[in-house]
Amino acid sequence: MAGARGNLGELWQPLARRQPARGRDNPALEAIWQVIATIPRGRVSTYGEVARAAGFPGHARQTAYALRVAPGKLHLPWQRVLGAGGRIVFPAGSADFREQARRLRSEGVRVVNGRVPRAVLMDPDDL
């Protein structure tokens, strides 16, 4: 087994040391970014629905990863992507939680206790 380990190269590196695949290197990320870019102001979607619309049903965490590694120059409306049921996934009271709630409110989305009304969740067929 020791010989096989050497052949796996980068797979054995800790995740923190790996370089994330970006843009043209990863069509899945580009597909997710394109879906996120289509979410209009005042509406939201969930990580899971974005993944499904991009062609990756059941891969909500891939959406979170895509947002984390997205180049800033894309100016993606990250605040419009929420957890299941329309909830902000950042810890309540954290700077990220407050920033997402602030950005959503600036777009006219009501946020109460870290949740948005179901009425602003996009219909999955519209993504």
Query: Is 1 within the bounds of a domain?
Result: no
Query: Is 15 within the bounds of a domain?
Result: no
* Cα torsion angle, 95, 69, 105, 85, sign: negative
- Kindly state the helix (H) or strand (E) to which residue 4 belongs, with its residue range: helix 2-7
Query: Is 14 within the bounds of a domain?
Result: no
pTM of the model: 0.80
The domain tally of the chain equals 1
Q: Residue 108: which CATH number?
A: 1.10.10.10
Closest C-alpha to 77, from 28, 112, 27, 34: 34
Tens-level pLDDT at each residue, the chain (127 residues):
444 444 434 333 343 344 445 555 789 999 999 999 999 999 999 999 999 999 999 999 999 999 999 999 999 999 999 999 999 999 999 999 999 999 999 999 999 999 999 999 998 888 8
Query: Is 10 within the bounds of a domain?
Result: no
Query: Is 103 within the bounds of a domain?
Result: yes
**Which structural domain, as residue segments, surrounds residue 45?**
21-122
